[in-house]
Amino acid sequence: MADNIRVRFAPSPTGPLHIGGVRTALYNYLFARQNGGKMILRIEDTDQTRFVPGAEQYIIEALTWLGIEFDEGVHVGGPFGPYRQSDRKEMYRQYSDQLIENGWAYYAFDTPEELDIIRKQYEAEKKAFQYDASTRDKMKNSLTLPTEEVKNLLESGAAFVVRFKMPENEEIHVQDLIRGDVKVNSGLLDDKVLFKSDGMPTYHLANIVDDHLMDISHVIRGEEWLPSAPLHVMLYKAFGWEDTMPMFAHLPLLLKPDGNGKLSKRDGDRLGFPVFPLRWTDPVSGEVSSGYRESGYFPEAVVNILAFLGWNPGTEQEIFSMQQLIDAFSIERISKSGAKFDLEKAKWFNHQYLIHRDDTELAQLFQNVVAEKCVNADFERVKEVCPLVKERASFVNDLWDQAKFFFVAPESYDEQIIKKRWKEDTPTHLNRISEIIASTQPFSKDQAHDRVMEYIQQNSLNTGQIMNCLRLSLVGAAMGPDLFAIIGILGIEETQNRIRKAVDTIKI
Partner RNA sequence: GGCCCGUUCGUCUAGCUGGCCUAGGACAUCAGAUUUUCAUUCUGGAGAUCAGGGGUUCGAAUCCCCUACGGGCUACCA
Q: Which of residues 233-272 bind RNA (CB under 7 A)?
A: 252-253, 255, 259-262
**C-alpha 320, offset from chain centre:** 16
Active site residue 265: yes
Total interface residues for RNA by CB under 7 A:
82
Quick check: 52 binds RNA (CB under 7 A)? no
Q: Which is nearer to RNA, 379 or 397 (CB)?
A: 397
Phi-psi sector, 457: left (phi>0), alpha (psi -120 to 50), beta = alpha
167 binds RNA (CB under 7 A): no
Report if residue 290 touches RNA, rule: CB under 7 A: no
Contact with RNA (CB under 7 A): which of 71, 190, 269, 282?
190
Output the smallest distance, CB 376 to RNA, in A: 26
175 near RNA, rule: CB under 7 A: no
Q: Which residues contact 391 (CB under 8 A, 6 or more apart)?
A: 355
Pair type for strands 254-255 and 72-73 = unpaired
Task: Check residue 27 for interaction with RNA (CB under 7 A).
Answer: no
The verdict on 209 binding RNA (CB under 7 A) reads: no
Name the minimum Å distance from CB 479 to RNA. 4
Q: At what angle do helices 426-438 and 445-458 cross, to 10 degrees?
A: 140
Under rule CB under 7 A, residue 403 binds RNA: no
Taking CB under 7 A as the criterion, the residue among 52, 76, 91, 115 binding RNA is: 115
Strand partners, 164: 105
Of 193 and 489, CB closest to RNA: 193
**DSSP assignment of 406-464:** GTS--SS--HHHHHHH--TTHHHHHHHHHHHHHT-SS--HHHHHHHHHHHHHHTT--HH
- If binding is defined by CB under 7 A, does position 307 make contact with RNA? no
- Residue 170 touches RNA, criterion: CB under 7 A: no
> Are 394 and 292 spatial neighbours (Cβ–Cβ below 8 Å)?
no
Instruction: Please say which residue, 197 or 290, places its beta carbon nearer to RNA.
Output: 197
89 binds RNA (CB under 7 A): no
Bridge partner residues of 288 (DSSP): 281
Question: Of 112, 240, 272, 491, which one interacts with RNA (CB under 7 A)?
Answer: 112
Dihedral angle of Cα 22, 24, 26, 27, to the nearest 10 degrees: 160
Residues 375-394 binding RNA (CB under 7 A) are 391-392
**Residue from 89, 265, 420, 445 carrying the catalytic annotation:** 265
Which residues, including other chains, have CB under 8 Å from residue 115's CB and lie 6 or more apart?
129, 131
461 vs 503 by CB, closer to RNA:
461
Determine if 440 is a binding residue for RNA (CB under 7 A).
Answer: no
Q: Is the dihedral of CA 8, 12, 15, 19 positive or negative?
A: negative
68/157 Cα distance (integer angstroms) = 45
- DSSP, collapsed to helix, strand or coil, labels residue 185 as strand
Q: Which of 223, 306, 362, 506 binds RNA (CB under 7 A)?
A: 223
Exactly one of 1, 4, 36, 50 binds RNA (CB under 7 A); that residue is 50
Helical segments of 184-287, H only: 203-213, 229-239, 267-271
Site string for RNA, 120-159 (x = CB under 7 A): --------x-xx---------------------------x
Residues 409-438 that bind RNA (CB under 7 A): none
- Choose the stretch contacting RNA; rule: CB under 7 A; options: 5-13, 98-106, 234-242, 271-279: 5-13
* Contacting RNA within 442-481 (CB under 7 A): 449, 463-464, 467-468, 470-471, 478-481
Smaller CB separation from RNA, 175 or 431: 175
Neighbours of 422 (CB within 10 A): 21
Q: Contacts with RNA in 318-357 (CB under 7 A)?
A: 318, 332-333, 335-340, 342, 344-345, 348
Name the segment binding RNA (CB under 7 A); options: 67-75, 210-218, 309-317, 321-329.
Answer: 309-317
Stretch that binds RNA, among 74-82, 234-242, 314-322, 374-382 (CB under 7 A): 314-322
Closest CA to 277 of 290, 263, 266, 262: 290
Q: How close are the terminal C-alpha atoms of the chain, in Å?
A: 77
Q: Do the beta carbons of residue 17 and residue 24 sit within 8 Å?
A: no
* Nearest Cα residue to 211 out of 9, 31, 47, 35: 9
Active site positions, annotated: 265
